[in-house]
Amino acid sequence: MTEKLSADRISFVTDNYFRISEKIENARIKAGRSDEVNFMAVTKTVPAEIVNHSVSLGVKLLGENRVQEFLDKHEQYSGDYSVHFIGGLQTNKVKYIIDKVSMIHSVDSIKLAAEIDKRAAAAGRVMDILLEVNIGGEESKNGIPAEQLSELAAEAGEYRNLRIRGLMTIPPVDINGSSERYFEKMQRLYSDLRDSTRGKESFLIDTLSMGMSGDFEKAIYYGSTIVRIGSLLFGYRQY
Ligand SMILES: *Cc1c(COP(=O)(O)O)cnc(C)c1O
């Protein structure tokens, strides 16, 4: 990246960061919420230098969804941040990220849960996870159908090196406001899960990860605690 391009992008990201932060705060207030909404910066395709700039502005949480890209970039990251893994995760890749992330949002099979548990045990830690729900029932998407959620939660809850923190979803593309219905469904699943697992070992349900660049304000209305923002913060991805 040339210096000029980089300087332009830095001021672009600065403006975006403050604008989005204000929108998040306004949406939170409008929803009558007194709890926190975390602004996650989704870093795919974004150079480490720009990611670091977002951290210097106040981003505390980075979302990574490509294992190889994350491994290539993470040593260049600097500042005060934590990393959550949010992308589709193959079981054979878990070992590469287990000591580098503090939460995995994309757990959608017992096989993956078992592998994370095994690697977490080997690393001497407990890994926080979210269960990913395919709320629109789309074939192209990861995540389990809503009907299988309680079964997966019960099975994953048996593992000693996992702590289940909540749910994640990517709803279908919003057509005429259709995403509200999916967010509302997620909110219900989330509160049911919280009620049914309260006080149980392996469960501490406090995280609902939903809402991206195009729909985060609606997601906040329906209780999202982490909004995952990529293009609105960093600009459109070329690939
Ligand atoms: C890319 C990505 C995002 C961010 O998407 P934008 O629409 O660019 O904000 C959020 N969540 C996941 C899982 C992603 O892969």
Statement: residue 239 has pLDDT above 90: no
- pLDDT band for 176, please (50, 70, 90 cuts): confident
- Residue 163 phi/psi, 5-degree rounding, is -130, 120
Region 197-226 average pLDDT: 97
Which residues sit opposite 41 in a β-bridge?
A: 62, 229
d(CA 194, CA 204): 8
Least confident range from 6-10, 48-52, 222-226, 231-235: namely: 6-10
CB-based burial, 163-199: b 16+ in 10 Å, e otherwise:
bbbbbbbbbbeeeeeebbebbebbbebbeebbeebee
71-83 tens-digit pLDDT: 999 999 999 999 9
Statement: residue 2 has pLDDT above 80: no
Instruction: Give the gyration radius of the chain's Cα atoms.
Output: 18
Alpha carbon of 90 to ligand 1 centroid (Å) = 18
124-134 tens-digit pLDDT: 999 999 999 99
Statement: residue 3 has pLDDT above 90: no
pTM assigned to the model:
0.96
Taking Cα atoms as reference points, which of 68, 87, 100, 97 lies closest to residue 130? 87
CATH number given to 2-234 = 3.20.20.10
Statement: residue 5 has pLDDT above 90: no
Statement: residue 195 has pLDDT above 80: yes
CA-105 nearest atom, ligand 1: 13
Could you state, in order of their start, the residue ranges of all structural domains in the chain?
2-234
Statement: residue 63 has pLDDT above 90: yes
Q: What mean pLDDT value characterizes the chain? A: 95
**Ligand 1 pocket test target in 16, 103, 105, 212 with most atoms within 8 Å of CB:** 212
Alpha carbon of 42 to ligand 1 centroid (Å) = 6
For the Cβ of 73 lying below 6 angstroms from any atom of ligand 1, the answer is no
10-24 tens-digit pLDDT: 999 999 999 999 999
Statement: residue 221 has pLDDT above 90: yes
